[in-house]
């Protein structure tokens, strides 16, 4: 999977990566961490009334050339292009968001990477309290990732990811190890961009990880979490998006 205008060198420049280029777990971990700390999860296109393009060249231009971010299909799509160029074995899988009050369809996208016979869950596009590094996909695993805690359990044929937030295990999403083609996410993309029942149409969002935590911007509220300590403030969204996430918002 690639785009005619995708350049691995430009991708490395965008995420600030200068490490090894091998299809191994160490490289995968560094790539995911670097992208999460440089490419924001954001829904500017949706908030402007547009449906984000799933044309790979458009995604490449948006994130690499224009220094924007995107939501799961865009940022995980870019991540997958880099994985392909390096020689990783991977596939997309659909995931079911589980933080809504009612059961949802599998509208989220994750990337499953296979290394030495093991499956690793990778996700650069969940926002909120998402993974910081690849997570080995096995039942009843708990992992600490740079101060954050995650748990994966197998339930009714799906792996369920939880994050430890405010002293509780919070549900994030469920997924199965079933490959899905890129085109299969076009309907989910349309739903997320147009339905009044999704967080993307309801709120302006920007999320990016930092070496010691994360920054979460939701409408006029900015949360900065560093070393487990939360600072919350009221801000102007456009100004905060530019200052904290490097986003210049377009009409």
pLDDT digits (tens, 9 = 90+) for 2-32: 999 999 999 999 999 999 899 999 999 999 9
Is 120 in a helix, a strand, or coil? strand
Average pLDDT on 113-122 reads 97
pLDDT digits (tens, 9 = 90+) for 156-180: 899 999 999 888 999 999 999 999 9
What is the distance between the alpha carbons of residues 165 and 180, in angstroms, rounded to a whole number? 30
What is the distance between the alpha carbons of residues 7 and 230, in angstroms, rounded to a whole number? 37
Architecture of domain 8-198: 2-Layer Sandwich (3.30)
Place of tokens 């995968």: 28
Q: Is the pLDDT of residue 246 over 70?
A: yes
**Confidence band for 248, pLDDT divided at 50, 70 and 90:** confident
User: Which residues of the chain form beta strands (DSSP E)?
Assistant: 41-42, 89-97, 108-115, 118-122, 135-136, 141-145, 148-155, 158-165, 168-175, 205-210, 213-218, 221-226, 229-234
Is 111 in a helix, a strand, or coil? strand
**pLDDT at residue 250, as a whole number:** 56
Q: Give the angle 84-87-89 at the CA atoms, nearest 5°.
A: 80
- Within 10 Å of residue 124's Cβ, how many Cβ atoms? 28
pLDDT digits (tens, 9 = 90+) for 79-100: 999 999 999 999 999 999 998 7
Which among 206, 211, 165 is positioned nearest to 46, based on CA atoms? 206
């Amino acid at each position: 999977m690639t785009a005619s205008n995708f350049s691995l060198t430009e991708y490395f420049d965008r995420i600030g990566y200068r490490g090894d280029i091998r299809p191994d777990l160490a490289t995968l971990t560094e790539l995911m961490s670097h992208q999460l700390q440089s490419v924001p999860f954001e829904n500017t296109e949706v908030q402007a009334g547009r449906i984000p393009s799933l044309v790979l060249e458009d995604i490449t231009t948006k994130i690499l050339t224009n220094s924007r971010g995107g939501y799961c299909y865009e940022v995980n799509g870019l991540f997958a292009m880099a994985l392909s160029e390096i020689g990783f074995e991977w596939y997309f899988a659909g995931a079911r968001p589980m933080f809504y009050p009612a059961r949802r369809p599998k509208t989220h996208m994750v990337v499953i990477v296979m290394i030495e016979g093991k499956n690793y869950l990778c996700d650069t596009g969940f926002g909120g309290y998402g993974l910081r590094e690849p997570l080995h996909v096995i039942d009843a695993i708990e992992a600490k990732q740079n101060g954050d805690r995650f748990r994966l359990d197998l339930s009714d044929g799906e792996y369920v990811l939880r994050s430890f937030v405010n002293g509780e295990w919070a549900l994030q999403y469920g997924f199965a190890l079933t490959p899905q083609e890129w085109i299969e996410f076009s309907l989910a993309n349309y739903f997320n961009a147009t339905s009044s029942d999704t967080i993307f149409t309801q709120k302006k969002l920007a999320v990016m990880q930092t070496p010691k935590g994360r920054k979460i911007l939701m409408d006029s509220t900015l949360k900065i979490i560093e070393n487990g300590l939360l600072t919350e403030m009221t801000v102007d969204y456009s100004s905060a998006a530019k200052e904290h996430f490097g986003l210049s918002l377009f009409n």
